Structure 1
């Protein structure tokens, strides 16, 4: 029995190791080529750089206007995620606590809206908002992200809130809290696991999104980081070192956020499934 378990564990370890290599290999290729010049990349793209040359990074940082794109992405992501979590949690709270038929209808309508692909509505969306002058604005894009992200967030919050005992809220009301105070002082702190999960998923989605910003933000001053990378890569396609350095600069913030907060994703998903 011990021998068979040992063999099974070895097979699992080898299989997971192969998957890890397949997953990391493209990132490794991009990273090592970001330190090379064009001639060295064409000679052997799989070899390590002969020396660590950071000139590609400094040039890419300057030419792609990295700071400007980073700040635009940061503003859009932070405000979108804050509004999604706060408004969706409050909406889900009303849906879970008030047993009105209208609430039930609206909840199922929001859940059903998740099956509609964005590609099916993007042309009417741009046409309508363009006709009322809401394009080329970070705030219009934030407004759209809140609309597209609210359905999933409400769905996740709704199941979590239903598991919170009503006695906690009743005790807070007896102590003198109104409905709003009860929510923010009692209910919302208990939603931390699912809030962290929603926040991280939305951060990764909004930060990396390309299609919606490319339709809404037309002028260079409003470009997010993915848009800046896209136009930079299109300009310097043949300069492989510069292009790969720009890609590395774009993915660094996402990797840092995910590494720092990955435990909250796992914890939130597990607690949400148990509840």
Structure 2
């Protein structure tokens, strides 16, 4: 009994330590975003004496977040639409149909999730340069969509596996065509899957840096993440308060988005955890 109690105490200590490790950096960002640079240098872990909002206005202007957010939204929405459209049909085929090469395709998608995107940067850059697509947000969306596609396809497949095929067979007997079966019967059944995949893809696309920094050249094409780099150069390099405010500006929208849909993501992942 005493040993179990000690084990439980030790587990709670580990959990508390992990929570502290995760939340302490966020705490520093939040409190220092409202402090002038001098106060941060003096004591970075103290609460602000008053709300110093100039950091946010300076960060917004310096990083040009109005343009950056617009470009980020274009990138995120385009990427999500591409992934959802392709993964829905691919997941449906892999989850409900029997055909030659199905096992090979599943192995391909599993293998694709393990290959680092860095391997393709040089050839991709060469193709983009020849096609004059450097700085084209919509073209970059296809690259980011391709990176997220293997995981999205495998996730959607698990949802389609759980849909009773009797629904499709009954609809066919009633005279429904393929389009009606998919869009009016099958796809609505996997709505949690669409939400789950959309949230994961949007989070990945919003936080994406490597592909964006490589192909989105020119400040007019910068996303919010790339615009934040403007706070790390020139005369503003040492203004830590402005940097913290810029970080908070980028984090808050995607944090609100995730928290508002967290329930659907958890429910979706639970509903999709079906074995064949």
1:117 matched residue in structure 2: 116
Give 1:30-45 correspondences, 5 Å limit. Answer: 30-45=29-44
TM-score relative to the length of structure 2: 0.91
Secondary structure in 2 aligned to 1:49?
Answer: coil
Are 1:41 and 1:241, in contact at CA under 8 Å, matched by a contact in 2?
Answer: yes
2:192 matched residue in structure 1: 193
Give 1:140-219 correspondences, 5 Å limit. Answer: 140-219=139-218
Are 1:233 and 1:246, in contact at CA under 8 Å, matched by a contact in 2?
Answer: no
CA shift for structure 1 position 148: 1.6
1:229 matched residue in structure 2: 228
CA shift for structure 1 position 62: 1.7
Whole-angstrom distance in 2 between the partners of 1:15 and 1:265: 27
1:28 matched residue in structure 2: 27
TM-score relative to the length of structure 1: 0.92
Are 2:158 and 2:273, in contact at CA under 8 Å, matched by a contact in 1?
Answer: no
Cα-to-partner distance string for 1:138-195 (whole Å, 9 max, x where unaligned): 1101111222221111112223212221110111122232112101111111112222
2:250 pairs with 1:250: yes
Cα-to-partner distance string for 1:187-226 (whole Å, 9 max, x where unaligned): 1111122222211111111100111001111011111111
Are 2:136 and 2:216, in contact at CA under 8 Å, matched by a contact in 1?
Answer: yes
Whole-angstrom distance in 1 between the partners of 2:9 and 2:101: 56
Secondary structure in 2 aligned to 1:238?
Answer: coil
Are 1:33 and 1:49, in contact at CA under 8 Å, matched by a contact in 2?
Answer: yes
Residues 18 and 102 of structure 1: is their aligned pair in 2 closer, same or farther, counting only changes over 3 Å? closer
Whole-angstrom distance in 1 between the partners of 2:181 and 2:5: 54
2:268 matched residue in structure 1: 268
Whole-angstrom distance in 2 between the partners of 1:132 and 1:151: 26
**Structure 2 unaligned runs (5+)?**
none
**Structure 1 unaligned runs (5+)?**
none
Are 2:162 and 2:272, in contact at CA under 8 Å, matched by a contact in 1?
Answer: no
CA shift for structure 1 position 91: 1.4
